[in-house]
Amino acid sequence: MAIDPTREVLLRIGGALLAGAAPVPDVEAQLIALGHRLGAAEPRVAATPTAVFVSVDATHDMALQTVHGSLRFEQMSRVQDVIDRLMRRRMRAAEALVALDDIEAMPSTRAPFLCDLAVVLIGIGICCILQPTWRDLGVTAVASLLVVGLVWLSRRITLVGTLLPLLASFGVGLLVLQADRLWHLDGTLRTMVSAIAVLLPGSVIVTGMSEIASGAAVAGTSRLVSGMVQLMLFAVGLFAAVSVSSDSLDVLTNVRAQELGPLAPYLGVALVGLGIVLNVAASRNAIPWIFAVLALTFAVQSTVQWLGGVTLGGLAGAIVASLGAALVHRFSGRPLRLVVFLPAFWLLVPGSLGLLSTAELAAGHDGLAAVSTAVSAVVAVAAGTLIGSAAGRALDRRLDPAPPELPEPVDVADVDRH
- The whole domain housing 391 covers 112-398
Find the mean pLDDT for residues 220-224: 86
- Percent of the chain whose pLDDT exceeds 70: 82
pLDDT of residue 69: 77
Please determine, for residue 347, whether its predicted confidence score (pLDDT) is greater than 80: no
How many alpha carbons fall within 13 Å on the CB side of residue 85? 18
Binning pLDDT at 50, 70 and 90, where does residue 258 land? confident
Please determine, for residue 411, whether its predicted confidence score (pLDDT) is greater than 50: no
Find the mean pLDDT for residues 286-304: 83
pLDDT of residue 167: 93
Cα separations in angstroms, 260 against 124, 216, 336: 13, 44, 36
Helix/strand/coil percent split, the chain, to 5: 70, 5, 25
Shared-domain flag, residues 69 and 126: no
pLDDT of residue 175: 92
Find the mean pLDDT for residues 136-157: 91
**Is residue 404 within 8 Å of residue 36, measured between CB atoms?**
yes
Shared-domain flag, residues 79 and 203: no
pLDDT of residue 145: 94
Shared-domain flag, residues 240 and 359: yes
How many alpha carbons fall within 13 Å on the CB side of residue 131? 28
pLDDT of residue 295: 85
In a domain, 410, yes or no: no
Shared-domain flag, residues 79 and 197: no
Find the mean pLDDT for residues 86-107: 87
Binning pLDDT at 50, 70 and 90, where does residue 25 land? confident
157 vs 407: which has the higher pLDDT: 157
Shared-domain flag, residues 128 and 74: no
In a domain, 244, yes or no: yes
Range ranked top by mean pLDDT from 273-277, 330-334, 396-400: 273-277
* Number of structural domains in the chain: 2
132 Cβ neighbours under 8 A, 6+ residues apart: 257, 258, 259, 260, 261, 264, 265, 268
Shared-domain flag, residues 42 and 127: no
In a domain, 75, yes or no: yes
pLDDT of residue 168: 92
In a domain, 80, yes or no: yes
Find the mean pLDDT for residues 373-390: 75
State pLDDT tens for residues 166-214: 999 999 999 999 888 888 887 788 888 888 888 877 777 777 877 887 7
Binning pLDDT at 50, 70 and 90, where does residue 309 land? confident
pLDDT of residue 142: 94
Domain boundary among 58, 90, 107: 107
Shared-domain flag, residues 215 and 329: yes
pLDDT of residue 369: 60
Q: Give the chain's length.
A: 418
β-strand partners of 55: 44
Binning pLDDT at 50, 70 and 90, where does residue 404 land? very low
Cα separations in angstroms, 264 against 177, 274, 314, 365: 24, 15, 20, 28
Which of 18-32, 80-94, 209-223 is the least confident region?
A: 209-223
In a domain, 411, yes or no: no
pLDDT of residue 417: 38
168 vs 150: CA distance, rounded Å: 7
Shared-domain flag, residues 100 and 116: no
176 vs 38: CA distance, rounded Å: 56
pLDDT of residue 75: 84
In a domain, 26, yes or no: yes
Shared-domain flag, residues 282 and 356: yes
Cis, bond preceding 401 (omega within 30 deg of 0) = no
Shared-domain flag, residues 95 and 211: no
Residue 9, SS3? helix
Binning pLDDT at 50, 70 and 90, where does residue 148 land? very high
Find the mean pLDDT for residues 250-262: 75
In a domain, 215, yes or no: yes
Domain boundary among 80, 107, 134: 107
Shared-domain flag, residues 28 and 121: no
Please determine, for residue 146, whether its predicted confidence score (pLDDT) is greater than 90: yes
pLDDT of residue 257: 75
Please determine, for residue 98, whether its predicted confidence score (pLDDT) is greater than 60: yes
β-strand partners of 243: none
Binning pLDDT at 50, 70 and 90, where does residue 413 land? very low
Find the mean pLDDT for residues 227-232: 84
Backbone φ and ψ for 355, nearest 5 degrees, come out as -70, -40
Closest CA to 127 of 152, 155, 147: 147
Shared-domain flag, residues 228 and 128: yes
β-strand partners of 48: 51
* Mean pLDDT for all residues in the chain: 79
305 vs 354: which has the higher pLDDT: 305
Which of 64-78, 219-233, 295-309, 369-383 is the least confident region?
A: 369-383
268 Cβ neighbours under 8 A, 6+ residues apart: 124, 125, 126, 127, 128, 129, 132
In a domain, 403, yes or no: no
pLDDT of residue 23: 84
Binning pLDDT at 50, 70 and 90, where does residue 2 land? low
